[in-house]
């Protein structure tokens, strides 16, 4: 059973076991409640647009090869729009997805990035997109030639069919900012086709303008321009006083290759095994999931509460050259304990270790407000002065820029065990994740470290 609070718009569901979500996913649409309507003119029609990745091989073989190698996963063979790669691939030109529109009408596109490992630029040739919602919350209208969408994110966009009748490509391709990071550099397409009598095949459809694959400024400018609607009918409640404040680095790391053992294959840089971390801790999955142990009172699941609230090593996180010793993370199963109803600020600081790259950070169980976003090292004294506490976007996934930072705030009013992780599957697999446990009341067990996970409801 799904229980929503005040979400309205487009969300999605997906598997979270190994790499099953490559194909096990779908849209969730939350319509306005009875008696109300959209905060924008009702569109003529609505369409769900799911962006994905596709491999020729069985996805579980891809996953197993990735785990065994110690290096990067093989690139996908195609991106897809609603399951079809499009005209630029040899396998599906005659099955390319088509959207038929009528001149003068508007259409609501519910766009979901279900890709496994890539942020994407998306646009429609000679048409603009007006963003009116993200992650199940409405936004002030933002009209752009393209959007930047991370894995895990959704956008509601208005398309106006206001061009000369004809055929136009909608297209998506990767935004990939990491140096020496492999990625699928192909382009997926679908077709926006106007109704009418015209020679639709006289020339190929035009392609939209999409930024260069490594255009970080274009990606950051789009994300930083989002604003909540924050109207009387759709109010927001941004925490202005914070009781729990955390700063966490998000990094790509590398372990020295073991000489013996089953994990001795090391295809990472300089013969290492790639890893990822938050505050230099690469998360180790316990034998029994913490969420399962919590709800079924399973004893003997060990975890620690040593997740640091501040980076354990302070350095110039975004420098071009960093000492190799900083690349090696610690391994552990450490959680963040939060009191029920406390207000939280969490700053994600990207680093340039191994491969500086963007990180789409996603929090289960909560919507949060992205109150700040910037490039460089976060300045605890100056950057909060420029926070947007008036109409920040309410999201559940935020793109931490390459060599940059993002600050989010939320109220811990949803008791339980909640997963915080990077939505790039390769980074999640490498250990860029932790767990938030929100407890109602105070229990003596909270003071034990580490301890079997036997958590009575207080």
| 78 pLDDT higher than 50 | yes
User: How far apart (Å, rounded) are the C-alpha atoms in residues 119 and 400?
Assistant: 12
**Confidence tier at 449 by pLDDT (50, 70, 90):** very low
96-106 average pLDDT score: 97
How close are the terminal C-alpha atoms of the chain, in Å?
Answer: 24
Sort strands 98-101 and 187-194 into parallel, antiparallel or unpaired.
Answer: parallel
| 5 pLDDT higher than 80 | no
- Quick check: 449 and 176 in contact, CB under 8 A? no
For the chain, the average pLDDT equals 92
Which residues make beta-bridge pairs with 9?
30
**Confidence tier at 448 by pLDDT (50, 70, 90):** very low
Rounded percentage of the chain residues whose pLDDT exceeds 70: 94
- Give the C-alpha distances (Å, rounded to integers) separating 230 from 38, 156, 367, 371: 14, 16, 15, 14
| pLDDT score of 70 | 94
| pLDDT score of 455 | 40
| 92 pLDDT higher than 90 | no
| pLDDT score of 166 | 94
27-45 average pLDDT score: 96
386-410 average pLDDT score: 98
**What's the DSSP call for residue 456?**
-
Residues 6+ apart with CB under 8 A from 40: 132, 141, 158
**Confidence tier at 385 by pLDDT (50, 70, 90):** very high
| 198 pLDDT higher than 80 | no
Rounded percentage of the chain residues whose pLDDT exceeds 90: 83
Q: Which two tokens mark 30?
A: 């939350």
User: Could you tell me which of 217, 218, 223, 226 has the C-alpha nearest to residue 360?
Assistant: 223
Sort strands 9-14 and 146-149 into parallel, antiparallel or unpaired.
Answer: unpaired
| 260 pLDDT higher than 60 | no
> Is the Cα dihedral 443, 421, 143, 345 positive or negative?
positive
Q: Which two tokens mark 435?
A: 């767990």
**What's the DSSP call for residue 95?**
G
- Quick check: 395 and 368 in contact, CB under 8 A? yes
- Quick check: 173 and 86 in contact, CB under 8 A? no
| 287 pLDDT higher than 90 | no
**116-148 burial, b for 16+ CB within 10 Å, e for fewer?**
bbbbbbbbbbbbbbbbbbbbbbbbbebebbbbb
| pLDDT score of 90 | 86
Which residues make beta-bridge pairs with 129?
144, 159
- Give the C-alpha distances (Å, rounded to integers) separating 165 from 143, 190, 193, 200, 318: 22, 16, 8, 9, 48
450 upstream amide cis, omega within 30 of 0: yes
Tokens 């936004």 belong to which residue?
Answer: 139
| 207 pLDDT higher than 50 | yes
User: Could you tell me which of 334, 19, 76, 358 has the C-alpha nearest to residue 220?
Assistant: 358
CA geometry: angle 278, 402, 141, nearest 5 deg: 110
94-121 average pLDDT score: 96
194-219 average pLDDT score: 90
pTM of the predicted model as reported, rounded to 2 decimal places = 0.93
What is the greatest pairwise CA distance in the chain?
A: 75
| pLDDT score of 441 | 66
| 51 pLDDT higher than 60 | yes
- Quick check: 8 and 138 in contact, CB under 8 A? yes
pLDDT in tens, 406-447: 999 999 999 989 999 999 999 999 999 999 999 876 554 443
User: How far apart (Å, rounded) are the C-alpha atoms in residues 177 and 175?
Assistant: 6
């Amino acid at each position: 059973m799904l229980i929503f609070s005040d979400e309205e718009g487009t969300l999605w569901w997906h598997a979270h076991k190994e790499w099953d979500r490559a194909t096990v996913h779908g849209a969730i649409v939350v319509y306005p409640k009875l008696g109300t309507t959209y905060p924008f003119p009702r569109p003529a029609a609505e369409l769900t647009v799911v962006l994905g990745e596709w491999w020729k091989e069985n996805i579980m073989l891809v996953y197993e090869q990735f785990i065994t190698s110690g290096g990067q996963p093989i690139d996908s063979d195609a991106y897809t729009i609603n399951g079809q790669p499009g005209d630029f691939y040899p396998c599906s030109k005659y099955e390319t997805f088509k959207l038929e529109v009528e001149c003068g009408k508007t259409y609501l596109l519910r766009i979901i990035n279900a890709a496994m490992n890539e942020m994407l630029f998306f646009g429609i040739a000679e048409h603009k997109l007006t963003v009116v919602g993200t992650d199940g919350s409405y936004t002030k209208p933002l009209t752009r030639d393209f959007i930047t969408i991370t894995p895990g994110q959704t956008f509601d966009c208005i398309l106006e069919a206001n061009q000369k009748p004809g055929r136009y490509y909608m297209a998506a391709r990767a935004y990939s900012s990491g140096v020496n990071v492999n990625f699928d550099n192909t382009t997926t397409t679908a077709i926006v086709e106007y109704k009418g009598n015209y020679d639709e095949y006289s020339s190929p459809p035009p392609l939209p303008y999409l930024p260069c694959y490594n255009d970080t400024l274009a990606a950051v400018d789009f994300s930083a321009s989002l604003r909540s609607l924050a109207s009387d009918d759709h109010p927001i409640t941004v925490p202005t006083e914070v009781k729990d404040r955390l700063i966490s680095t998000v990094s790509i790391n590398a372990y020295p290759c073991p000489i013996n053992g089953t994990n001795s294959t090391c295809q990472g840089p300089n013969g290492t095994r790639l890893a990822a971390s938050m505050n230099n801790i690469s998360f180790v999955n316990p034998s029994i999931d913490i969420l399962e142990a919590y709800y079924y009172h399973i004893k003997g699941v060990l975890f620690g509460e040593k997740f640091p609230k501040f980076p354990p090593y302070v350095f110039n996180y975004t420098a071009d050259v960093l000492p190799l010793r900083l690349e090696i993370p610690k391994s552990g199963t450490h959680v963040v304990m939060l009191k029920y109803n406390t207000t939280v600020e969490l700053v994600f600081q990207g680093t340039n270790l191994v491969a500086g790259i963007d990180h789409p950070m996603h929090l289960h169980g909560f919507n949060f407000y992205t109150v700040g976003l910037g490039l460089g090292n976060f300045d605890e004294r100056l950057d909060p002065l420029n926070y947007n506490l008036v109409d920040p976007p309410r999201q559940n996934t935020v793109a931490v820029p390459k060599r940059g930072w993002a600050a989010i705030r939320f109220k811990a009013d949803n008791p339980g065990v909640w997963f915080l992780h990077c939505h790039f599957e390769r980074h999640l697999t490498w250990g860029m994740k932790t767990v938030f446990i929100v407890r109602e009341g105070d229990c003596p067990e909270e003071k034990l470290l580490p301890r079997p996970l036997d958590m009575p409801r207080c």
